[in-house]
């Protein structure tokens, strides 16, 4: 099955810009050029001119190719200095299969959130599925939401939806393909935790018991994208499903950049699994880069500007989020962080959901 995922990765890489790896120091710049394979949600970070300049000042030129986090294990990584999936699970898969140059680095993380248009958020609030806490922010009741999806409820059945012609069809959150994408896999991790009575799915019996609901969550969506970039872009452009699962970093970066988010309401699931972006060093240069991202003050500042939450102290993100408190929940109050299942269990769950 993992070979099949590799085919999907190859397609993704064909769509990216593949840059040859130059080992050692570039004579013109005095920097070491390192090549990484990264989750697509981090591509903008590594191409940001300020990030490029900051890294160059510390001796690095970084080239990246985007790929789905759960597809990286099937990639040919011989020419890469680091792999940077969106969570610990796929990082462990890479570690288990290859010799690494040191421990992983987890420089930053991002909780998963659901973006809703104002009309959808108001209807969900009237139904008791959402508690609105600010003009553009709310808390999604995962138990209530999962029950509604399991019952096959449609938007037309919800109080107040008739006034909004765009709210039609089945009620569901658009997510990415859990076989290749980190956000899609973590969506199942959070949903299965709630469906399993607030306990991590750990064995075949629990996988079997939660499989029908997980399958409904995925199959109601039809074709799923391989990464979160396209659904996010579609949503802020005003097209696509009324509810879409994204990384908080995506909407936080848009706000930090001063762009107009429109009528977006950011819904924080009351039970979620945060995405711990985990860098696996495949060479010594990759290891050094991971340490820099985790500890360098300037790079941490730029990390926050791209919407990520640096590991350790919360002060940097809190300060950056303060002007956008109507959208962002900097302290994550009321949000329960559920542990993710083991990699094998999560992959089994994803495969069943896509059957």
> Rounded mean pLDDT of 191-203?
96
Is residue 139 located within the same domain as residue 216?
A: yes
User: What total number of domains does the chain contain?
Assistant: 2
Is residue 260 located within the same domain as residue 338?
A: yes
Is residue 9 located within the same domain as residue 144?
A: no
CB 204 within 8 A of CB 134: no
Is residue 289 located within the same domain as residue 341?
A: no
Q: What is the pLDDT of residue 25?
A: 44
Is residue 190 located within the same domain as residue 315?
A: no
Kindly state the greatest CA–CA separation across the chain.
66
In a domain? residue 329:
no
CATH number, domain containing residue 244: 3.40.190.10
Question: pLDDT > 70: what percent of the chain?
Answer: 92
Q: What is the pLDDT of residue 313?
A: 84
Least confident of 13-22, 188-197, 319-328: 13-22
Q: What is the pLDDT of residue 7?
A: 38
Q: What CA dihedral angle connects 9, 213, 90 and 74, to 10 degrees?
A: -30
In a domain? residue 128:
yes
- Backbone φ and ψ for 249, nearest 5 degrees, come out as -60, -30
32-78 pLDDT per residue, tens: 999 999 988 899 999 999 999 999 999 999 999 998 888 888 888 99
Q: What is the pLDDT of residue 281?
A: 97
Is residue 56 located within the same domain as residue 149?
A: no
- Give the pLDDT band of residue 81 (cuts 50, 70, 90): very high
Is residue 99 located within the same domain as residue 20?
A: yes
- With a cut of 50, say whether residue 9 has pLDDT above it: no
In a domain? residue 50:
yes
Could you tell me whether strands 105-110 and 309-310 are parallel, antiparallel, or unpaired per DSSP bridges?
antiparallel
- The count of residues in the chain is 355
Least confident of 16-25, 125-134, 247-256, 261-270: 16-25
> Rounded mean pLDDT of 282-287?
96
Is residue 213 located within the same domain as residue 344?
A: yes
Q: What is the pLDDT of residue 29?
A: 54
Q: What is the pLDDT of residue 70?
A: 84
* pTM, rounded to two decimals: 0.88
Is residue 168 located within the same domain as residue 257?
A: yes
Q: List CB contacts of 95: < 8 A, sequence separation 6 or more.
A: 104, 280
- With a cut of 90, say whether residue 230 has pLDDT above it: no
Domain interval for residue 136: 112-273+334-353
Read off the tokens for 56.
Answer: 């160059």
In a domain? residue 59:
yes
Query: Mean pLDDT, the chain, as a whole number?
Result: 89
Q: What is the pLDDT of residue 63?
A: 96
């Amino acid at each position: 099955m993992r070979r099949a995922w590799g085919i999907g990765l190859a397609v993704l890489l064909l769509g990216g810009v593949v840059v040859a790896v130059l080992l050692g120091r570039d004579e013109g710049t005095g920097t070491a050029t390192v090549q990484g394979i990264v989750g697509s949600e981090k591509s903008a970070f590594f191409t940001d001119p300020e990030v490029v300049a900051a890294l160059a000042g510390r001796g690095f030129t970084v080239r990246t190719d985007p790929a789905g986090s759960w597809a990286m294990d099937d990639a040919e990584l011989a020419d890469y200095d680091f792999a940077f999936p969106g969570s610990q699970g796929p990082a462990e898969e890479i570690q288990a299969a290859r010799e690494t140059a040191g421990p992983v680095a987890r420089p930053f993380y991002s909780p998963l959130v659901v973006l809703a248009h104002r009309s959808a958020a108001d209807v969900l609030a009237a139904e008791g599925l959402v508690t609105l806490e600010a003009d553009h922010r709310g808390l999604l009741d995962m138990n209530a939401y999962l029950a509604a999806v399991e019952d096959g409820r449609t938007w037309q059945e919800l109080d107040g939806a008739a006034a909004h012609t765009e709210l039609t069809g089945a009620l569901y959150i658009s997510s990415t393909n859990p076989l290749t994408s980190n956000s899609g896999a973590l969506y199942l991790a959070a949903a299965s935790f709630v469906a399993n009575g607030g306990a991590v799915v750990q064995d075949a019996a629990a996988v079997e018991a939660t499989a029908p609901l997980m399958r409904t969550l995925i199959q109601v969506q039809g074709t799923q994208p391989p990464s979160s970039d396209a659904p996010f872009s579609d949503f802020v452009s005003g097209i696509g499903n009324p509810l879409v699962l994204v990384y908080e970093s995506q909407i936080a970066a848009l706000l930090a950049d001063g762009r107009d988010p429109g009528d977006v309401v950011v819904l924080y699931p009351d039970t979620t699994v945060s995405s711990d972006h985990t860098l696996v060093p495949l060479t010594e240069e990759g290891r050094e880069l991971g340490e820099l991202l985790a500890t360098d003050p300037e790079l941490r500042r730029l990390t926050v500007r791209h919407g990520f939450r640096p590991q350790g102290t919360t002060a940097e993100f809190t300060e950056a989020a303060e002007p956008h408190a109507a959208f962002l929940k900097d302290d994550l109050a009321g949000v329960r962080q559920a542990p993710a299942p083991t990699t094998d269990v999560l992959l089994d769950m994803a495969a069943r959901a896509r059957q």
